[in-house]
Amino acid sequence: MDDYGTESDSDYTSYWRDWFISSRGNEYFCEIDEEYLTDRFNLTGLNTEVQYYQYALDLVTDVFDLDCDDEMRETIEKSARHLYGLVHARYIVTTRGLAKMLEKYKKADFGKCPRVMCNSHPLLPMGLSDIPNLKPVKLHCARCEDTYNPKSSRHASIDGAYFGTSFHNILFQVYPALIPAKSAERYVPRVYGFKVHAAAALVRWQNGVRDDMRRRLRKMEVESGFKDGDDDLDEDDDDPEDEEELLQQLAVAEYRGGGAAAVAAITAAATTGGEVQMGSVA
């Protein structure tokens, strides 16, 4: 706010919105057009949501000229930011807003997906609720279709309602060409090269769910969006996996019972890279 006080006096950044989107922590926001802000229709209902609505709007549109004390000014300032956020949620689902956010998405301004298998796919900001002051902003990865917490705490405190629950989905409705290819690639927990039974059983079950979905989509002749062909629908490669798991259970049992000898034998084999064969233990 101090920044604002000094900067608003200078000729360079006389626009409140310029200052707002360029200040630290507000990297997720795009600039709302003057025309959009001045059209009262776009602000329907916000006057009940925002304190000192008129002053806040004046501040956002750079026509604020009320002479007031610092405390009052700070309150209005806060309201202005709240108002900007709420209008922002509406603006980014308009054609111009989508285009602006798309630019930021392409530059990965919202960060990259932390999931290893997503290969740093750019994220999109989203809210878990459209009602303000409920949930902070989350980040959505279009590749794994999951939501993540922002890395930095200065972003974790932004209200999710300033982006809304619909924006990121609308973006891909409007730009379907940008939907990333889906991948069945995933992490499988292993012990000395062998899958862990509990996790592997879940993976098998999930793969079943996925294949059911892909069959369903194929029947309806809808593109599933998976990059790795349809060939793996008929999974017959499950059998060796089961065998592997059994061996893993034995390997762990062996490790617990047999002590260091088994561990070293297995470790040595595992470090050399190949799949562990039981022969190296027995």
- CB closer to other proteins out of 19 and 148: 148
Determine, following the binding rule CB under 8 A, whether residue 192 of this chain makes contact with other proteins.
Answer: yes
Q: Is residue 130 within 8 Å of residue 89, measured between CB atoms?
A: yes
Q: Closer CB to other proteins, residue 68 or residue 264?
A: 264
Q: How many CB atoms lie within 10 A of CB 265?
A: 19
Of 144, 95, 100, 153, nearest to 122 by C-alpha is 144
Interaction between residue 267 and other proteins (CB under 8 A): yes
Q: Does 15 bind other proteins (CB under 8 A)?
A: no
C-alpha angle 25-27-29 in degrees, rounded to nearest 5? 110
| Comparison of 66 and 131: residue with beta carbon closer to other proteins | 131
Structure token pair of residue 76: 């209005």
Distance CA 112, CA 118 (A): 9
Site for other proteins in 32-51 (CB under 8 A): none
Could you tell me the smallest distance in angstroms from the CB atom of residue 127 to other proteins?
11
d(CA 280, CA 266): 7
Residue 111 CB, shortest distance to other proteins, in Å, is 10
Q: Taking the complex as a whole, how short is the minimal distance between the CB of residue 59 and other proteins, in angstroms?
A: 30
Residue 21: closest CA among 66, 49, 52, 60: 60
d(CA 114, CA 180): 16
Q: Report in angstroms how near the CB of residue 39 gets to other proteins at its nearest.
A: 20
CB of 188 to other proteins, least distance (A): 8
Q: Which residues, numbered 112-131, are part of the site for other proteins (CB under 8 A)?
A: 114-117, 120, 128
Interface residue with other proteins among 106, 154, 215, 216 (CB under 8 A) is 216
Contact status: 155 vs other proteins (CB under 8 A): no
Q: Which one among 223, 231, 234, 237 touches other proteins, defined by CB under 8 A?
A: 223
Contact 141, 118 (CB under 8 A): yes
Q: What is the β-pairing status of strands 138-141 and 190-191?
A: unpaired
Is position 233 an interface residue for other proteins (rule: CB under 8 A)? Answer: no
Nearer to other proteins, 77 or 254 (CB): 254
CB 59 within 8 Å of CB 80 = yes
Terminal-residue alpha carbon distance, the chain: 71
205 binds other proteins (CB under 8 A): yes
Q: Going by C-beta distance under 8 Å and a sequence separation of 6 or more, which residues neighbour residue 274?
A: 193
Rule CB under 8 A: say whether 243 interacts with other proteins: yes
* 91 binds other proteins, rule: CB under 8 A: no
Integer-rounded Cα radius of gyration of the chain: 27
Site for other proteins (CB under 8 A): which residue of 9, 67, 272, 279?
A: 272
Task: Tell me if 176 contacts other proteins by CB under 8 A.
Answer: yes
Cβ closest to other proteins, residue 68 vs residue 213: 213
